[in-house]
Structure 1
Amino acid sequence: MAVRNIRGLKQLCLQMPCERRNLEAIFTRWTSTSSQVHEHCKASLLKKLNAEIPEESDNVCIYRIPTKLLQVEAKAYIPRIVSIGPYHRRDQHLKETEELKLKFFHRVLKSRQEREVELDRVISAMEELEPKARSCYADDVKLSRDEFVEMMIIDGCFILQLLREVGGCCSSSPLIQRWMLPTLRRDLIKLENQLPMLVLHKLSELISDSYQCEYSTLSLQDLALKFFNPLLQRDSHVNAAGATAMNRSCHFLDLFRSSILPEIQDQDRKRQVRMIQSITELEEAGVVLEKSRNERALDVRSEGRFLKIPPLHIDDNKGTLFRNIIAFEQCHKKCKPDATAYLFFFDGLVNSADDVEILHYKGIIQHSLGSNKEAANLVNKLCREVDWDGEESYLHKVVCDDIDVYFTSRYAKLRARLVHYYFSNWVVGISTVAGLFALYLTLIQTGCGVATTLKALKENSFWSYLSDSFSLLFSRPSTPLTPKDSNKE
């Protein structure tokens, strides 16, 4: 037994140096691997650090829609029948309208006597504009210079000819079927489907208008507004393109957005710390809603407890329009989030179908969505996944300085409480009035009783009535006459 223990100890002693050498080898490999990882990581980071990262151009104005907005309503941002610009150029479902764009291109240049000379002028001008136009797109455009120039010319000629035929001399085009026009309007207003305005201005200068009609002198902005005005059911003859902001617009979406904004001074913008209450709550507190006659849809005004709102027509087209305007404001640093503030304002006003019904009765909201509930859902869904912190809100005066100050007053709170609990609908109102009338009659009856008592008190003193009442406690009750006694008498 002792011999076996001695042998085991010898073997253990022999194994220990071997295990130590294995541990040293593992540690050496780990140290070597760690240093290699360090060197590889350092080399990779140095390569990235030394690489030139392209800075965002100041001209960027056409963006890809953020993913979180696409997840809410993707179809509102993706063109359905026509592609403009590079972002959706290769979409398979838009290939059919490429032939339509070529037909409009032919109508612009093919009928001209010196079309080859004029085409050379157009190509040269677009080649000169190509770097600046390319810098208007936020994403890297995977098109060669020739492809980009060709795209600008064909898409630009298509847009200009479409505006002249539909927004200018007549209300339709022989190349456009009736069902296509509303869809074209929605496609041409989408953020990812834009051509820079500088390209359209240059093409408009180079290609003289061959149409002679009452609209032949309209500017490109005016033609565009006449074409897109049906999106908001505005008067097609409203000429609002003289504003400075619209002259600086970078594409059609920016142009249309500027046309619906009120004239706002920078000093009027302040932080809006609170959202406005719902229409039901405002009416209960005594806020008076009025339909404004202003053509600019976002020009909301207030005077004390009087709230003036321009009319708004709600349908699926408005959802597309406002979603793209919001996406543009979320991405473009140079524009204020005024449309976003307006939609958050409306989102606060409309909490239920009852709010839509009140606005509809006032003539402020018109919709074609089947029910007030669907209209309320559409309004509430427009602001989903949209970030807005209330900074520089042009509605600060309306929400905070006028309506909120009145809403928090004692009179407004008392009125709101009375209306909410006792006059919320006609049934409750009738019950309340009936209860008040019954109380009134009770008070009259009580008053008459008191008056009669006071008259009796004038004839006898109060102490005599009091002594008589106490004497009744000790007096013997009189024996009533029985029928038998009465017969005896």
Structure 2
Amino acid sequence: MAYKYNNVSDHSVLQIKDEDKDDVIAENDGNMATLTKDRNYVELIVSSIRGKLLQDPPSTARSCIFRIPNVLRRHNEKAFVPNLVSIGPFQHGKKNLKVMQEIKLWYLHCLLDRKPTSETSLEYLVEAIKSMEQDCRDCYGEKIHMSSQKFVEMMVVDGCFIVELFRKYAKEVPRNEDDPVFNTSWMTSVFRKDLSLLENQLPWKVVDCLFHHTKEKDEPKSKALLLLALEFFEVSAFGQDPQADRPLETKHLLDGIRNSLLASSPQAETHDYWEPIPSVTELLQAGVEFKRRSDTWDNMLDITFENGVMEIPPIDIGENAESLFRNLIAYEQSDPSITDCNITSYAVILDNLINTSTDADFLIQKKIILTQLSKEDIACLFNRLYSDTVVGYFCYENLTKNVNAYYQGRWHRWQTILRRDYFSNPWSIFSLAAALLILGFTFLQTLYSLLTYY
């Protein structure tokens, strides 16, 4: 019986092992299927990522036209968005800007119809821009997803519009009596704002190429393109006189405006460090005197401080001033080739000086700031102008150090108090003199009494 039991027992054991083996095989098959499925899923993701990898950087060292970073855009969205005309690919095709496309094409027709040179043909202009297409694409801070045909067409139409606009403004070419650009009082001002936006730029090489291929060879009195451009923007560029003789390469219209403003800018003196200075009101209490630097309008950045006197060149703050300031600052923050943050440094100084409307009103009364805006608007403008920026190279290190050293000196403050409280008018002087005389007589009388007693 034991033998049979053992046989039965062994057979049962063998049966159980075979069943377990089947379960293991089934489980392994399921695991293999899962692994195969997972592997296919991973390979699908890997293939998707590889298809998106970029062999070349998204932008090049030649990039000079950028999207506005959201950290700067959020402070005033309207300062960076065109109201009337789109230039270049970033704003191209916006519904609210399409109405200007007809005027662009009409301006192109006017230019071609005059035929100032033998090179002024649509075929010649298209070929010229087509030959520099890749260089133009590299000027933008991100890849432009446009076909070659659409991109070149946009460059030609937008570039010829800018060239014709500048010539008509300078009256180098006749204006049509039905031209809405010059028959509408507000349109030129809007164009100045739109054409100075960082996102609304064309590479300078495009505009310059189209300008020279459409320039009359027998017209020696015609102005250079940069001077025409700066004269167009003069009213809105803080009232500064055009400075077109700077030995700097122009990258686009906004860059040309910035170069013109740097005519007499101080050189950067330190790296990412600056000391805040007190406001106008606080400096006045410390005895600092403010003067308008000169009557010339070509050196607004040339602020100086010496012997308690701060001299500030005049600046005209119009309706488009905030937009221009913000786009210039955004440009300095975006372009890695710009090391000296001159405009940003200037904004820092003005922000320090103007804390309240009282500070703004003082500078307006001194005719340092010329504006039709209210003193509250001026204070608000400068108080938030350079928020969320990094001043890589600050241009007023020595000025801030000298101002703070003067402000912290007690003797200057005491002198100011004496002048304000005791020497501000003849009656104050008379009262002080009388008080000193009475004090002197009292002292002498006391001294005489003591001498007599002893």
Partner of 1:84: helix, strand, or coil? coil
Could you say which residue in structure 1 is the equivalent of 2:210? 203
Distance 2:34 2:319 in 1: 61
Query: Alignment partner for residue 350 of structure 1, among 354, 357, 366?
Result: 354
| Amino acid aligned to 1:380 | N
Could you say which residue in structure 1 is the equivalent of 2:227? 222
Which runs of structure 2 are paired with 1:13-412 in the superposition (5 Å)?
40=41, 44=45, 48=49, 51-55=53-57, 56-112=59-115, 118-169=121-172, 174=177, 175=179, 176=181, 177-209=184-216, 216-232=221-237, 234=239, 238-245=241-248, 248-263=249-264, 268-293=269-294, 294=296, 295-336=298-339, 337-370=341-374, 372-384=375-387, 386-388=388-390, 390-400=391-401, 402-412=402-412
Distance 2:151 2:411 in 1: 65
| Amino acid aligned to 1:405 | A
| Amino acid aligned to 1:141 | I
8 A Cα contact 1:270 1:396, kept in partner: no
Distance 1:129 1:206 in 2: 15
Partner of 2:449: helix, strand, or coil? helix
Distance 1:317 1:172 in 2: 25
Partner of 1:69: helix, strand, or coil? helix
RMSD of aligned alpha carbons:
3.9
| Amino acid aligned to 1:403 | V
Residue deviations 1:185-243, cap 9 Å, x none?
A: 0000011111110001111121123895xx943111111010001013536xx452111
| Amino acid aligned to 1:345 | I
8 A Cα contact 2:83 2:190, kept in partner: yes
Distance 1:278 1:93 in 2: 42
Relative to total residues, which structure has the larger helix share, 1 or 2?
1
Relative to the length of structure 1, the TM-score reads 0.75
Shift of 1:448: 5.7
8 A Cα contact 2:270 2:394, kept in partner: yes
Shift of 1:284: 2.1
| Amino acid aligned to 1:411 | W
Relative to the length of structure 2, the TM-score reads 0.81
| Amino acid aligned to 2:383 | N
Shift of 1:114: 8.5
Partner of 1:313: helix, strand, or coil? strand
8 A Cα contact 2:265 2:301, kept in partner: no
Distance 1:146 1:324 in 2: 30
Shift of 1:59: 1.8
Say if 1:425 and 1:151 are closer, same or farther in 2 by CA, change over 3 A. farther
Q: Give unmatched runs, 5+ long, in structure 2.
A: 1-22
8 A Cα contact 1:162 1:173, kept in partner: no
| Amino acid aligned to 1:331 | S
Partner of 2:139: helix, strand, or coil? coil
Say if 1:364 and 1:266 are closer, same or farther in 2 by CA, change over 3 A. closer
Say if 1:96 and 1:309 are closer, same or farther in 2 by CA, change over 3 A. same
| Amino acid aligned to 2:443 | G
Distance 2:194 2:99 in 1: 15
Task: Tell which structure's C-alpha radius of gyration is larger.
Answer: 1
Partner of 2:305: helix, strand, or coil? strand
Say if 1:448 and 1:406 are closer, same or farther in 2 by CA, change over 3 A. closer
Shift of 1:361: 2.5
Distance 1:305 1:272 in 2: 23
Distance 1:43 1:304 in 2: 73
Instruction: Answer with 429-438 or 41-50: which moved more.
Output: 429-438
Query: Alignment partner for residue 440 of structure 1, among 391, 411, 436?
Result: 436
Distance 2:265 2:228 in 1: 25
Residue deviations 1:156-211, cap 9 Å, x none?
A: 11100110111353897742122100001000001111111000111112112389
